[in-house]
Structure 1
Amino acid sequence: MPAVTVANPLALPRVPEPNPLTGTERPVVSVTTAPKGFEGEGFPVRRAFAGVDLRALDPFVHMDQMGEVEYAPGEPKGTPWHPHRGFETVTYMIDGEMAHSDSHGGGGLIGGGDTQWMTAGSGILHIETPPEHLVASGGLFHGIQLWVNLPRARKFAVPRYQDITSDRVALLSSADGGALVRVIAGEVGGHAGPGSTYTPITLVHATLAPGATLTLPWRPDFNALVYALGGAGTAGAERRPLRAGQLAVYGPGGALTVAADPKQDSRTTALDVFILGGEPIREPVAMYGPFVMNSRTELAQAFEDYQAGRLGSIPAAHAEVRAATPDAD
């Protein structure tokens, strides 16, 4: 069950109907299935963008669905210390908690429904770990980590954090009350989310009741992606089947539609989707491990700077925790 819910979605502001002059329905270009893997110290992920051309994803470059997994006591895992440069990481926790620390002395706890937005920019080291109480007790762990590219002019921006707590997320309802829409960043029909971005994007987490249909007005200059976190439904007016762990890439237009099947399984009871889009940067992308740059030369420089300690150093209080090799995510 997603952390941010409401008892009566009909009491929320409604998603406006798309403008008939600009709201041409976006067709579905492709539906792909995310392969399963492991990240960090061994927590399970699904690689949401695997097999999709970067040009269709721009300005996004990588996305993992973390979990959904029910840990036994002693099982929760995180990541070792690792570097980043040239992009922004967005960690959205749906269920469970994750603690983070960085080489600038920052840190905090990301709880269910919270978002941590880290602009790596010129370079930073950080670590993500389950809090001690969660390691002791076990429990549900489920979230998203998204990488948002930075344009060339912002690659060396000063690193910064945005901690977006669940109570700041904009909550909307579909016209019939069948869908709860959480706007994390950008805006939907004039309703803005709290995330502040260098690259114009919109991030939405929506939960659709069985049989519900959600049509969102969507900026025509943005791309449009819908990833199914759980449940079953369809994408687009053409009703392409969409199942948990699948990504739908939409074509051009001013509106996008996703719908939940009338019957869901007993575990999910609804269709949960992560909807995202942004203004394409349309610059060369050179990406390897924890760095996203514009050229191989810049990648080599990033590795050299990391090895020379120019991306920061592990704070003394955490020095006993081993650092990752440079090719870790």
Structure 2
Amino acid sequence: MPAVTVQNTLALPRIPRPDSAVPVQRPVLSVTTAPSGFEGEGFPVRRAFAGVSTRDLDPFVHLDQMGEVDYAPGEAKGTPWHPHRGFETVTYMIDGIFEHADSNGGGGVITNGDTQWMTAGSGILHIEAPPEHLVASGGLFHGIQLWVNLPSANKWNPPRYQSIEGREAVLLTSDDGGALVRLIAGEVAGHSGPGSTFTPITMIHATITAGAQLVLPWRPDFNALAYVLAGRGTAGPEARPLQSGQLARFGPGDLLTLAAAQRQDSHTPDLEVLVLGGLPIGEPVAHYGPFVMNTEAELRQAVEDYQAGRLGVIPATHLPHTGPGDAPAPG
């Protein structure tokens, strides 16, 4: 799991351990296990938010862990052209390569540690697929896609695209150097990540070495979630056990605590965890496939607009797998 690594975490800025007499540790309210499934043209995913209510996830809507899978030659798959409206997609690549293109002219290649942030807003068509050379050669593929809701006032904003290279992530470490913290968006301990978001959020990929602990100061008005990408450990002051494919949902407070188990397996020497938090929007959520709106009427309008070709046109330089008029893809 390369993403972005460093030779010596002790050379990085440190997140100071707060005075335990003042801040409140966030308790773990629930731990859920992500079921496995398939997305797009058949690549394996784990549905990280399954079993958690939309209200408790707000402002997040959906999270897929894509892979980890080691493709044989000819096996790698992606998604067909499909629409989105009303939210932002965040694709973070840990291992492997993904290509993206959209009807607004955005796109590019993401590889180890890169992030593509697409604001669908009023509507867009896009496609995500492995490059031809990866399909031919096979190889490791692992990443995540997060959906961040937009407030009703921003759902009709023009589409926007951000490419965040891995080297742009802000790298921090814990007070003892036992964790590598990649800050992709939001703020932690006075440090700000490069991602620009309509909805205030924090997004972190942390690698915690065996036996080490990470204590993060957390905005008290944000919710807090931790999804384990690989490894074993604990969450919260009660040291709730947590392992690969599980999501911890935290209660109120000022601090998040995560710790890596002393013993990990040979394939996964560290605890790899995605830490998310955001300011709840507090609005009704109507969700159907690739559309996230506020009302059922808006969902019907989104489907009609897609079928009528009003969400964009597939660029002529790209061979479409599907086009306007076909049924929307699920994700």
TM range (shorter): over 0.9
1:12 maps to 12
Q: State the SS of the aligned residue for 2:317.
A: helix
1:65 maps to 65
2:274 maps to 274
1:226 maps to 226
Whole-Å separation in 1 of the counterparts to 2:305 and 2:19: 49
Which amino acid counterpart does residue 260 of structure 1 have in structure 2? A
The runs of 5 or more residues in structure 2 that have no matched partner are none
Whole-Å separation in 2 of the counterparts to 1:2 and 1:248: 24
Matched, 1:210 2:210: yes
Which amino acid counterpart does residue 108 of structure 1 have in structure 2? G
The runs of 5 or more residues in structure 1 that have no matched partner are none
Matched, 1:77 2:73: no
Q: After TM superposition, give the deviation of residue 2 of structure 1 in Å.
A: 2.5
Whole-Å separation in 2 of the counterparts to 1:78 and 1:325: 17
1:164-175 equivalence runs, <5 A: 164-175=164-175
Which amino acid counterpart does residue 231 of structure 1 have in structure 2? G
Whole-Å separation in 1 of the counterparts to 2:105 and 2:11: 41
Whole-Å separation in 2 of the counterparts to 1:246 and 1:118: 26
Report if the CA contact (8 A) 1:22-1:254 is conserved.
no
Report if the CA contact (8 A) 1:291-1:302 is conserved.
yes
Report if the CA contact (8 A) 1:208-1:259 is conserved.
yes
2:201 maps to 201
Whole-Å separation in 1 of the counterparts to 2:327 and 2:270: 40
1:1-329 equivalence runs, <5 A: 1-18=1-18, 20=20, 23-323=23-323, 325-329=327-331
Which deviations, in whole Å up to 9, do the C-alpha atoms of 1:141-187 show, x marking residues without a partner? 00010000000000001101010000100000111111000000001
Percentage of pairs with the same residue: 71
CA RMSD of aligned residues (A): 1.1
Q: After TM superposition, give the deviation of residue 313 of structure 1 in Å.
A: 1.2
Report if the CA contact (8 A) 2:79-2:127 is conserved.
yes
Report if the CA contact (8 A) 2:83-2:329 is conserved.
no
Q: State the SS of the aligned residue for 1:248.
A: strand
Whole-Å separation in 2 of the counterparts to 1:229 and 1:264: 13
Q: After TM superposition, give the deviation of residue 131 of structure 1 in Å.
A: 0.7
Report if the CA contact (8 A) 1:23-1:218 is conserved.
no
Count residues in correspondence: 329
Which deviations, in whole Å up to 9, do the C-alpha atoms of 1:68-93 show, x marking residues without a partner? 00011111100000000000000000
Q: After TM superposition, give the deviation of residue 133 of structure 1 in Å.
A: 1.2
Compute the TM-score of the two structures, normalised by the length of structure 2. Answer: 0.97
Whole-Å separation in 2 of the counterparts to 1:193 and 1:307: 37
Report if the CA contact (8 A) 1:18-1:254 is conserved.
no
Report if the CA contact (8 A) 1:22-1:253 is conserved.
no
Q: After TM superposition, give the deviation of residue 237 of structure 1 in Å.
A: 1.0
Compute the TM-score of the two structures, normalised by the length of structure 1. Answer: 0.98
Whole-Å separation in 1 of the counterparts to 2:120 and 2:307: 17
Whole-Å separation in 1 of the counterparts to 2:102 and 2:286: 24
Q: State the SS of the aligned residue for 1:10.
A: helix
Report if the CA contact (8 A) 2:107-2:161 is conserved.
no
Q: State the SS of the aligned residue for 2:196.
A: coil
CA distance 1:139–1:152, change in 2 (3 Å): same
Which amino acid counterpart does residue 330 of structure 2 have in structure 1? A
Which deviations, in whole Å up to 9, do the C-alpha atoms of 1:251-303 show, x marking residues without a partner? 00000101000000010011000000000000000001000000000000000
Q: State the SS of the aligned residue for 1:325.
A: coil
Which amino acid counterpart does residue 265 of structure 1 have in structure 2? D
Whole-Å separation in 2 of the counterparts to 1:173 and 1:220: 21
Whole-Å separation in 2 of the counterparts to 1:30 and 1:253: 15
